[in-house]
Amino acid sequence: MQVDVGSSESVAALFETVRRQYTVPPSIVVNSAGIIRDAFLLDMTEAMFDDVIKINLKGTFLVTQAAAREMVANKVSEGSIVNISSIVGKTGNMGQANYAASKAGVVGFTKSIARELARHGIRCNAVMPGFIETPMTSSVPEKVMTKILPKIPMHRMGKPEEVAEVVKFLCSPSSAYVTGSVLEVTGGLDM
């Protein structure tokens, strides 16, 4: 199913489809949609800023709200919502003011909803990846990567499956007493 996470109509249609196709409401949601529109502040357009906020932050809000409504209405007692942030949301990064703001917002949003939804048995956590081998990081220039890699104590980029394992843990009963947490998967980049 395709969905425009920045559109409440598209998200509503997604959950309507889920309701029709499955007999049980979702109990696990992972918000992983994300985009970049990099530019230095003095060159960044309002559209570049808005595009990133719309997908990375508003999209997380819209999907989470729809999922939480379904979980609460259907009395899902062991729900898990995992939001993907970024280490850039903690540290900032030149040329990524919009991205950093969106991912920092995801952390604040996650902590707030963790407080709200805990009484319903819904856990909410965030994962903060560092430099991971993805199409998004493949566009980082070589000269930039040669400066970044020495700052990572593990001296390498992370693998998508390493992030996935942390997400899997947060979605599993093994993390039944974990909520409002932000787990960094950075190879030690910001310690």
Where in the sequence numbering do the catalytic residues fall?
A: 99
Contact partners, residue 12, CB within 8 Å, separation at least 6 = 66
- For the chain, how big is the Rg over CA atoms in Å? 17
Picking from 122, 137, 129, 78, the residue whose alpha carbon sits closest to that of residue 107 is: 129
What is the distance between the alpha carbons of residues 164 and 22, in angstroms, rounded to a whole number?
24
Using the CB atoms, write b or e for 121-158: b if 16+ within 10 Å: bbbbbbbbbbbbeeeebeeeeeeeeeeeeeebeeeebb
Structure tokens given for 38: 């990099």
Residue 103 class from Cβ within 10 Å (0-12 exposed, 13-18 middle, 19+ buried)? buried
